[in-house]
Homo-oligomer: A and B are copies of this chain.
Amino acid sequence: MKLEIAVLSGDGIGPEVTAQAVKALEAIAHSFDHTFTFKDALVGAIAIDKTGNPLPEETLQLCADTDAVLFGAIGDPKYDNDPSAPVRPEQGLLRLRKELGLYANIRPVKAYDTLLEKSPLKRNIIEGTDISIYRELTGGIYFGKKQLNEAGTVASDLCEYSKEEIERITRLAFKAAQKRRNKLTLVDKANVLESSRLWRKVVTEISKEYPDVDLDFLFVDNAAMQMILNPSQFDVILTENMFGDIISDEASVIGGSIGLLASASVGDTCCMFEPIHGSYPQATGKGIANPIAAILSAAMLLEHFDLLEESQAIKNAVEKALELNLTTPDLNSINPLTTEKVGDFIYDYI
């Protein structure tokens, strides 16, 4: 297979970890006789520094023209505490999601047997956890109208959802549940929010098309509790943008390291793959960033193109690295490897 892949490595540890993901894909191309071409482009704080724009038009064009996007991370502390900064790196990511129509963000959360001890949660709580979170990614309060009055004393954000926006991701989530354990949990706040009540209504309607899937509902506050008390109760979780952001980051603690979690963002025509950790500026350039989330994002990319054996080859290499404890300091405090060395092992193993 021939694939053109845009590589947007971004800020902080983004470039280091993305380089390892590219390497893993190169190993796959070599072993399975595919042709993957990689094209780099700017995004985030580094794009602001170089062009004044967190998502230069060239980058957007490249993403639209290629088959898939491999994304690193964005964000720089110099923007975070400056509420008045006119451009911020995050705008690049948000615009990219919107322009490419990446409405479904899929985040698998798994408790790896070899890592059960690393989790802050007790073994008996997390054992067997295998969740797929479907987070809506191009709607809700992230993209609703934002206002600040002239005096700068009243600010607002609008959380808006349409039936169509809810329907398309809901169908993806039900289909995913059918391939898994046939359970779907909608997380919302329907006892307070009008938009949540629309979610509940639309999802309930669509559930009739998937009679083999059990649907249940959880208020987001309760879900935040249940995720820690009993995570193995979940199969597919479906939720809106902001709740998905919070719940999936929370769920990331289950596996023992956020450095393990990959994500896919898909739409009707484009797709993007990205580790869920952020730019982790304190670690930049030190070789301590865990590349596994980025590498598993590459595995999700292969899966997306139905290259299942190839995807499994990456996952096997990752499991091997975990098993042998050939990992970065977040998982191995005694005898850690650098980011690059972990990537090398996985390259060689494939």
Which residues of chain A in 139-168 are interfacial with respect to chain B, using CB atoms and an 8 Å cutoff? 141-142, 144, 146-148, 152-164
CA distance A243 to B125 in the complex (A): 25
Number of copies: 2
A250 CB to closest chain B CB, in angstroms?
4
Partner of A195, one of B120, B121, B157, B192: B157
Q: Tell me the nearest residue of chain B to A250, going by C-beta.
A: B224
User: What's the Cα separation between A23 and B224 when bound, in Å?
Assistant: 32
- A157 to B201, alpha carbons, bound, how many Å? 16
- Interface residue A323 (Cβ < 8 Å from any Cβ of B): no
Contact mask for chain A residues 241-255; partner B; CB cutoff 8 A; 1 contact, 0 none: 011011111101100
A228 near B121 (CB under 8 angstroms)? yes
Do A189 and B242 contact each other (CB < 8 Å), given the known contacts A155-B198, A159-B157, A198-B148?
yes
CB-CB < 8 A to A307: which residues of B? Answer: none
- Interface check A212, CB cutoff 8 A: no
Q: Give Cα distance in the complex from A316 to B110, angstroms.
A: 42
Question: Which residue of B80, B121, B125, B250 is within 8 Å of A225 (Cβ)?
Answer: B250
Q: Which residues from chain A sit less than 8 Å from chain B, CB to CB? A: 75, 79-81, 83-84, 88, 90, 94, 120-122, 125, 141-142, 144, 146-148, 152-164, 189-195, 197-198, 200-201, 204, 217, 220-222, 224-225, 227-229, 242-243, 245-250, 252-253, 258, 278
- Given A141-B159, A155-B197, A228-B250: 14 more A-B contacts, CB < 8 Å: A79-B191, A80-B217, A81-B204, A81-B217, A83-B190, A84-B201, A121-B121, A121-B122, A144-B156, A155-B194, A156-B194, A159-B159, A224-B249, A225-B252
